[in-house]
């Protein structure tokens, strides 16, 4: 069988994070698990194959899909050109499967179905712009939202197999789109082996900070996190752990955003307890996880919630929102709160700060996180790519991971 993988994700600037990490890990594990099928990688320009291991790069057969032109004004024309090129390759080479691992990002082209002999597959990370439509209609240009809607319509009509990174994403997708007769498979995200508790048997005392992997997207609830941290100090400031604690926000922050953030923190009386790291490398991120007292994750909506799994893998106590896919990821190892209730957030954060961090507790969280693995995700993906196995059975099987 010939499987054509869309390689547009290789062009993302953050290939080692989020969608890029999913793409690289799943493809690597697909190639290591399967020696019967032929794997082709379609790339719209010179690919960065150095992101793959040498043996994986050698196993992939590269298909050049260069398109002419650039710029937003040409997006529609480029999309049609890319779609036609993909379908020409499918017809000329007799591809059995086409898989788009990253379909709904605005900069990614989603081919229409023109070849009836090929199964069209796609990965869905979330439906955030659709779920939070009112916000995105205000923040996105009309043509950008129109492109997003057009992609959703194309998925309904043209695609056969859908990989969802959580049961919640599957539920959102199936309830909002006409896709009941399609194949749906839940393929959870995972973390690399490098995410682990502090490597020495006796960990030094945790540093006095709460780790918040945030962002200035409203769904990340940045300002709600500030209010909850201020409430924590207001009601539990006499507690020795709380008294010395800081809020360490890990995210990229431009000058204007950080200025606004600190203005709000001053108004709440916690500016002297706020750290903003800016962008960090993965090694730096792991160290931040390992040394924190707890993870604070007040997001309003997540397709999966990878930072929660990363925190658990590093042995951290978790205080997180009881929304979207987050409880599916953390199970009973998190203290859950309503992310719109500042007092509830503060109380659960207080409890997380006082959760045990001894070796046994950290290893228990780490072992739970090991239930999620890229190998399992790749094998489930491969099964669906290969034989279109029954969707309902696969959804039930994989949802049990959370």
pLDDT tens digits for range 360-377: 999 999 999 999 999 999
Q: Give residue for tokens 């599916």.
A: 328
Query: Which of the four pLDDT bands, split at 50, 70 and 90, describes residue 249?
Result: very high
Instruction: Convert 39-50 to b/e letters by CB count within 10 Å (16 or more is b).
Output: bbbbbbeebebe
Average confidence (pLDDT) over 159-166: 97
pLDDT at res. 68: 58
pLDDT at res. 399: 40
Model pLDDT for residues 107-140, shown as the tens digit of each residue: 899 999 987 889 999 999 999 999 998 888 888 8
Model pLDDT for residues 227-240, shown as the tens digit of each residue: 999 999 999 999 99
CA distance 137 to 175: 21
pLDDT at res. 398: 41
The full set of domains in the chain, from first to last, is 2-190+374-399 (3.40.50.2000), 209-369 (3.40.50.2000)
Average confidence (pLDDT) over 205-224: 89
Query: Which of the four pLDDT bands, split at 50, 70 and 90, describes residue 211?
Result: very high
- Angstrom CA distances, 296 to 19, 299, 307, 392, stand at 22, 9, 10, 34
392 pLDDT more than 60:
no
283 phi and psi angles, rounded to 5 deg: -60, -40
pLDDT at res. 320: 98
User: Which two tokens mark 361?
Assistant: 């507790």
pLDDT at res. 227: 98
- Kindly report the pTM of this predicted structure: 0.92
Mean pLDDT is lowest, of 206-210, 321-325, 361-365, for 206-210
Average confidence (pLDDT) over 241-255: 92
CA distance 257 to 186: 36
pLDDT at res. 207: 80
pLDDT at res. 200: 60
Query: Which of the four pLDDT bands, split at 50, 70 and 90, describes residue 49?
Result: confident
Give the contacts of 259 (CB within 8 A, at least 6 positions apart). Answer: none
Model pLDDT for residues 260-304, shown as the tens digit of each residue: 999 999 999 999 999 999 989 999 999 999 999 999 999 999 999
């Amino acid at each position: 069988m010939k499987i054509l993988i869309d390689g547009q994700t290789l062009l993302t600037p953050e290939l080692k994070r989020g969608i890029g990490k999913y793409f690289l890990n799943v493809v690597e594990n697909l190639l290591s698990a399967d020696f019967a099928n032929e794997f082709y990688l379609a790339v719209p320009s010179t690919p960065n194959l150095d992101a793959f291991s040498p043996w994986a790069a050698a196993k992939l057969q590269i298909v050049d899909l260069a398109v002419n032109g650039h710029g937003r004004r040409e997006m529609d024309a480029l999309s049609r050109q890319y779609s036609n090129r993909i379908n020409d390759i499918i017809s000329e080479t007799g591809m059995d499967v086409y898989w788009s691992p990253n379909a709904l990002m605005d900069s990614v082209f989603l081919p229409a179905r023109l070849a009836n002999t090929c199964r069209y597959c796609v990965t869905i990370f979330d439906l955030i712009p659709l779920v939070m439509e009112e916000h995105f209609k205000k923040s996105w240009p009309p043509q950008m939202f129109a492109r997003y809607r057009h992609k959703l319509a194309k998925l309904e009509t043209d695609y056969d197999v859908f990989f969802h990174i959580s049961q919640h994403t599957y539920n959102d997708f199936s309830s909002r789109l006409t896709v009941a007769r399609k194949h749906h498979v839940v393929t959870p995200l995972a973390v690399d082996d490098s995410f682990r508790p502090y490597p020495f048997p006796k960990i030094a005392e945790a540093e006095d900070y709460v780790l918040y992997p945030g962002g200035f997207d409203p769904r990340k609830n940045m300002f709600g996190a500030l209010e909850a941290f201020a409430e924590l100090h207001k009601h539990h400031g006499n507690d020795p752990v709380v008294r010395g604690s800081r809020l360490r926000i890990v995210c990229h922050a431009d000058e204007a955003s950080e200025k606004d953030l600190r203005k709000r923190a001053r108004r709440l009386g916690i500016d002297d307890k706020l750290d903003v790291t800016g962008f960090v490398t993965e090694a730096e991120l792991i160290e931040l996880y390992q040394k924190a007292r707890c993870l604070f994750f007040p997001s309003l909506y997540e397709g999966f919630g990878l930072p929660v799994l990363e925190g658990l893998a590093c042995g951290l106590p978790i205080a997180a929102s009881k929304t979207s896919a987050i409880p599916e990821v953390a199970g009973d190892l998190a203290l859950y709160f309503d992310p719109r209730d500042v007092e509830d957030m503060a109380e659960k954060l207080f409890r997380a700060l006082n959760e045990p961090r001894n070796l046994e507790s950290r290893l228990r969280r780490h072992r739970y996180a090991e239930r999620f693995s890229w190998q399992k995700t790749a094998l489930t993906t491969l099964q669906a790519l290969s034989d279109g196995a029954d969707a309902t059975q696969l959804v039930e099987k994989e949802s049990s991971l959370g």
